[in-house]
Amino acid sequence: MLPAIFGLSGLTLTDDERAFFLDANPAGYILFGRNVESRAQMRALTDELRALHGRDHTFICIDQEGGRVARMKPPVWAAYPAGESFDRLYEVAPASAIEATRANAHALGLDLAEAGISVDCLPLLDVRQPGAHDVIGDRALGTEPMRVAALGRATLDGLGRAGVAGVVKHVPGHGRALVDSHKELPTVTASAEELAVDLAPFRTLRDATIAMTAHVRFTAWDAANPATHSAFVIAEIIRKAIGFDGLLLTDDLDMQALGGTVPERAAKAQAAGCDIALNCWAKMDDMVGIASALSPMSVKTAERLERALAGTAAFDGPADISAQGALFAARDRLLDLA
C-alpha cells in the first residue's frame, strides 16, 4: 500500500484516476466540495473507492469542521457551527459545552457515515493566540489548553459514536502563526517554554489515533524546517514530548508553506517521520510523482492505519441518521445558554 492520500477531480472517478488508483493502491482519499453534489452521488463515489481495493475499512476523509470550513453544505446537509460557538458556551457552562460539542460531532458524524466517509479532519487542537492570523480564528476551540482539550475530546467521542474517526490538528500547534500557511511559511519564534501551552492539548489527547502536522516553522526546535519536514519536531516533540503514537498525516502538500515540487515535499515528509503524505488537488502529474517518490508503507505505519480505522463503520448499507433530530435539539438547547 502506498503511504499517500489523494484527492479526486470531480463527482465521479475518471478512467485515468481509476487506473492510477488501482495501480498505486494509496492508503486513502480526501474529498472536497468539487466531489460533493448529493447524498446518493457521494455514497456511490465512496462505495466505488472502497470497491477499488476490496477494503471495507478504507481511509476516506473530508474537512467537515463546521462554520467556514465545510465541504458538505446546505440545503443537502445541515450547517454546523464553528468551534468558537462551543468556546463561548464553555465560558458560562463548561459541562454543557462539552455535552453540546459531543452532540454536534455525533450528528455531524452521522452525515459523514451516511455518505461513506470514515475520517473527519476534526478537531482542531490549536490554541488560539491574540494577534495571530485568522486562518485558525473562529475554527479554534479556545485560548486555554484545558478547554481546547476537553472540547476536542468531546468531538472525538461524538464522531466515534457515528463510526467516524477524527484527526487532531495541527500538531504541534498552528495557533501562533502570523501568516496563512496555505500561502506562505509561518515562522513562530516563541520559546520552548512558551510553546508548552501549544503542546498541552495534544499531550492530553495523545491517545488519538490520527493527527495532522502543521506547516509551521518553530525556531525553538528547528530553525530550518517546518514541522512537517522536521525530523527533530516529529521525533522529539510529536512522538516523545507529546507522546503521540498514532497515524501522522501531513497537512496538504500543495500548500505554499512548503518548498520544492510536490513529490519532493512528500519524500521529505516521509524521511522526516510522517506516516502518510496528503495531496489534495488531484493533479495527475503530482500524484504519479508522489507514487514514485515515496518508499513503500512501513509495517509500523500499516499498524497505525489499521488501528485508526478499527472503530469506523463497515459501510455495508445506509447509515441510520434517525437520531440526528434529537442531537440537533440537544445541541441547540445548550448553545442557547450562551
Q: Active-site positions?
A: 182, 251
Cα pseudo-dihedral 222, 228, 230, 235, rounded to 10? 110
What CA–CA distance (Å, rounded) separates 41 from 51? 15
2-335 falls under which CATH superfamily? Glycoside hydrolase, family 3, N-terminal domain (3.20.20.300)
Q: Please tell me the predicted confidence (pLDDT) of residue 320.
A: 73
CA distances from 163 to 108, 209, 309 (A): 11, 14, 9
Q: What is the pLDDT of residue 142?
A: 97
- Give the chain's largest Cα–Cα span: 54
Tally Cβ neighbours within 10 Å of residue 267: 19
Q: What is the pLDDT, as a whole number, of residue 55? A: 86
pLDDT of residue 56: 77
Compute the distance between CA of residue 138 and CA of residue 212 in angstroms, rounded to an integer: 19
For residue 322, the model assigns a pLDDT of 83
Beta strands 2-7 and 26-31, pairing class = parallel
CA angle 288, 117, 311 (to 5 degrees): 110
Interatomic CA distance for residues 208 and 58, integer angstroms: 18
Q: What is the C-alpha separation between 198 and 143, in angstroms, rounded?
A: 10
Prior bond to 186 cis, omega within 30? no
CB 4 within 8 A of CB 26: yes
**What is the distance between the alpha carbons of residues 327 and 249, in angstroms, rounded to a whole number?**
30
pLDDT of residue 191: 98
Q: What is the pLDDT of residue 247?
A: 98
Q: pLDDT tens digits, the chain, 338 residues: what are they?
A: 999 999 999 999 999 999 999 999 999 999 999 999 999 999 999 999 999 999 879 999 999 999 999 999 999 999 999 999 999 999 999 999 999 999 999 999 999 999 999 999 999 999 999 999 999 999 999 999 999 999 999 999 999 999 999 999 999 999 999 999 999 999 999 999 999 999 999 999 999 999 999 999 999 999 999 999 999 999 999 999 999 999 999 999 999 999 999 999 999 999 999 999 999 999 999 999 999 999 999 999 999 999 999 989 877 776 677 889 999 999 999 999 98
Which helix or strand (DSSP H or E) is residue 91 part of? helix 83-92
